[in-house]
Amino acid sequence: MTSTVQFETIGDGLLVRAPAKINLSLLIAGKRPDGFHELETVMAKINWFDEVLIEPGSKPGIELTCQGPEWAPAGDENLVYRAARLLLDNAGRKADVSITLTKNIPAGTGLGSASSDAAATLLGLNRYLELGAPADDLHGLAARLGSDVPFFLGGPLAFCTGKGEKIKKIDKNFDFLAMLILPNVSVSTITAYDNYTHDQALYETLHSCIKEHLEKHRIDLIAQMCANMLAGACFGLQGEIAKLKAAVESTGITPCCLSGSGSAMFYIIGDADERAAYEYQTRIRKEFGCRSIIVTNNRW
């Protein structure tokens, strides 16, 4: 994929690209009093996008249309609609807008596409309607929509804590080439967390190591750790993902890391070798009949 921009004017509309993410690490410090889990995660945007097109509406209010190769819910069940409604209500504005979501990234893969779509809507509608909402306001609205949404307002690389909504941007560049492996199953994030059993000793060990790597700006070493404390919960729910991971790693494509709560996995390809990347992709397709795509870190 070639590098591209986030915002693009299309006729009298505004196209906003919504990138996916991968979790280079995902630690769970324990359960919070509010029932959520306390997270520590390094997240990186990748150059695979959904698209949000904002245009003048032909009907009163917000009109949302979903299209593309992947399914997305319609109406107020969609985070895009909810983000648009929340932003307009917060601004005290009424507007007739048509929003078309082109869904390229499958749901239930741990790639954060719905959260990214919501963030793209907040950013795009704020710009398109010239609402003038400051960054702090957008962050507050994003946190109300979902824990991952605030990350997608900035980036492209950040250390996120709390429920995921506390964002500390990582200014150090981490350029990478990766192969995404996309099993034909989805995983519910809520169910994965419900299935999680905490391991405090593991958390403390991983936390100490990742903290040291962050202090030294060694994001590459964090990625090599392949630390995801939700992996066991995901594999317990979907055993075929665990079997696929083991089979892929048996071919030498290792470490094969789970993103978020799954089901997507990724392999960081050393030395950004594109030829090797496509050879790996061919092997995955032939040996496992599994879809994969080649991505790089996103630039924004």
Q: Residues 176-220: pLDDT tens digits?
A: 999 999 999 999 999 999 999 999 999 999 999 999 999 999 999
Examine the fold and report which residue of 119, 141, 169 is the final residue of a domain before the chain moves on.
Answer: 169
pLDDT of 271 reads: 75
Question: Of the listed 45, 50, 117, 148, which one is catalytic?
Answer: 148
Q: What is the mean pLDDT of residues 107-136?
A: 98
Q: Residues 260-292: pLDDT tens digits?
A: 999 999 999 977 788 999 999 999 999 999 999
**Does position 1 have pLDDT exceeding 50, yes or no?**
no
Task: Enter the pTM of the model.
Answer: 0.96
Q: Residues 2-37: pLDDT tens digits?
A: 458 999 999 999 999 999 999 999 999 999 999 999
Same domain, 188 and 262: yes
Distance CA 166, CA 161 (A): 5
Distance CA 156, CA 113 (A): 14
What CATH number has the domain bearing residue 230?
3.30.70.890
Q: Are 138 and 103 contacting, i.e. CB atoms less than 8 angstroms apart? A: no
**Does position 246 have pLDDT exceeding 90, yes or no?**
yes
**Does position 127 have pLDDT exceeding 80, yes or no?**
yes
Q: Residues 229-239: pLDDT tens digits?
A: 999 999 999 99
Examine the fold and report which residue of 142, 169, 196 is the final residue of a domain before the chain moves on.
Answer: 169
| Residue carrying structure tokens 């709390």 | 162
Q: In which domain, by residue range, is 75 found?
A: 7-169
Same domain, 51 and 163: yes
Asked about 117 being catalytic, the answer comes back as: no
Same domain, 18 and 165: yes
Question: Of the listed 12, 21, 34, 194, which one is catalytic?
Answer: 21
Same domain, 198 and 124: no
Examine the fold and report which residue of 169, 203, 237 is the final residue of a domain before the chain moves on.
Answer: 169
Structural domain includes residue 2: no
Q: Residues 25-72: pLDDT tens digits?
A: 999 999 999 999 999 999 999 999 999 999 999 999 999 999 999 999
Q: List residues bridging with 207 in a β-sheet.
A: none
Distance CA 150, CA 144 (A): 9
Q: Residues 64-98: pLDDT tens digits?
A: 999 999 999 988 999 999 999 999 999 999 999 99
Q: What is the mean pLDDT of the chain?
A: 96
Please give the tally of structural domains in the chain.
Answer: 2
Q: What is the mean pLDDT of residues 99-115?
A: 97
Asked about 199 being catalytic, the answer comes back as: no
Q: How confident is the model at residue 294 (pLDDT cuts 50, 70, 90)?
A: very high
Fill in the amino acid letter for 165.
E
Residue 54 burial (10 A CB sphere; 0-12, 13-18, 19+) = buried
Structural domain includes residue 222: yes
**Nearest to residue 164, comparing CAs of 17, 27, 19, 6?**
27
